[in-house]
Amino acid sequence: MSALICEVEKGSPAYRAGIVPGDELISINGSAIRDVLDYKFYSYDKKLKVELKRKTVKIKKEEGEDLGLVFETYLMDKAKRCANNCIFCFVDQMPEGMRETLYFKDDDARMSFLLGNYISLTNLSEEDIDRMIRMHISPINVSVHATDPEVRRKMVRNKNAGECFDILKRFSEAGIKLNCQIVVCPGINDGEVLKNSISDLLSLGEEVESIAIVPVGITKYREKLYPLDPMTKENAKETLRIVDAFGEDCIEQRGERVVYAADEIYIKAELPLPEDEYYDSYPQLDNGVGLMTLMHEEFSAALKYTDIPEKIEGFTIATGVSVAPFIRKLIDELKEKCDNIESAEVYAIKNEFFGETIDVAGLVTGKDMINQLRDKKLSKRLLIPAVMLRQGETVFLDDISVADIERELGITVIPVENDGDALLTAILGNE
């Protein structure tokens, strides 16, 4: 087995050793290289014996320095497809006809360690588990949902799903750090099931660094799928009571909260978001935990230390329904420091594409934005959350591009990262 080298970075240890594109990597220090984990783990040392198909070379480098090899794919092989059929899977709730990559479900432990993706553990063989423990792959992000084997099998619909807690226990005993996620589906894994799941995870000790509780997302495309109910105001309040009770216990025992609820649950409960200190080091931002509180902190700090001009050119902000009231409050804070803003409109874009039960900014489509802003009062500048766009590109989920928006509405679109300082910078028109 070998891995084809597509590129060698100029000046890198591999380049200096005479490795060239087209060479095939077989082993490092006698260990076979199957994928990116093997490559990173076995190439860490200062002295390496690199076996290629055409020759073997010896390399000296700094400890931890990358060899400088680029392979055909980041993982060096294909990503593992999800073997589950989760009753809440968002991919299953998407309409037909979207680009193919949106339908790919990955469940790859390597992606968890390297990119922060969440995995279900059902794809792991005994060999995989042993390798992760041997290499001390840490941290690992795990979609738990329920520690009760029967409940988890019902939710994930995989015969191996019930083994999740046993695997987590093995990882924690090996000192591997774990970040956990629980997607709450009302009537299935909330209430007492949620309490037991959180309790079980906390019993694993400080290796469980954080637990995020997030609400199930339900689109209008659920024909022939498992019947699910969205989280209601009362569901949300009860979930927050559970989360906060465990959080307070964790503060007493560990000095930090550990268990957190996503911002969306507070919005559904119609309760104010917690203050900055509630979120400790913000360990679960990728799950929408504390995003808005952190953004408010950043925006307020930027307001305090930025020279605000006497006059600000008009701007329009388009965002999701759930976050629009929050953005309006930030603009009100800005108006307290500058009362000469040409115009400042914040529009909440209803999600006609997926259904109005989906109200987060990251799932707003270009078509919905065009349709709902066409007859609105718009400034020359339209600020949108960058999370609406495919990472590294300028395309929405429905393949409408930023250029399409600009052409249809006759404005300039400015994508803004989810950062309060970045938002103020964009509003002021600064680079």
Secondary structure of 170-220 in HEC code, one letter for each residue: HHHHCCCCEEEEEEECCCCCCHHHHHHHHHHHHCCHHHEEEEEEEECCCCC
Residue 103 banded pLDDT, cuts 50, 70, 90:
low
Question: Sorting pLDDT into bands at 50, 70 and 90, what band is 216?
Answer: very high
Calculate mean pLDDT across residues 220-236: 93
Tally of CB atoms within 10 A around 199: 12
Q: What is the pLDDT of residue 113?
A: 67
pLDDT (tens digit per residue) in 4-33: 999 999 999 999 999 999 999 999 999 988
Fold identical between 3-71 and 91-286? no
- Give 269-302 pLDDT, tens digit per residue: 999 999 999 999 999 999 999 999 999 999 999 9
Residues 315-332 have pLDDT tens digits of 999 999 999 999 999 999
Q: What's the rounded Cα separation, in Å, for the pair 312 and 169?
A: 56
In whole angstroms, give the CA distance from residue 185 to residue 155: 9
Confidence band (pLDDT; 50, 70, 90) for 98?
confident
Residues 356, 350 contacting (CB under 8 angstroms):
yes
Q: Kindly list the domain boundaries of the chain, sorted by start residue.
A: 3-71, 91-286, 295-428
Per-residue pLDDT, 191? 97
Class of domain 91-286: alpha beta
Q: Thinking of the domain 295-428, which architecture would CATH place it in?
A: 3-Layer(aba) Sandwich (3.40)
Model confidence over 256-265: pLDDT tens digits? 999 999 999 9
Q: So what's the pLDDT on residue 409? A: 96
Topology at the third CATH level for domain 3-71: Pdz3 Domain (2.30.42)
User: For all residues of the chain together, what is the average pLDDT?
Assistant: 92
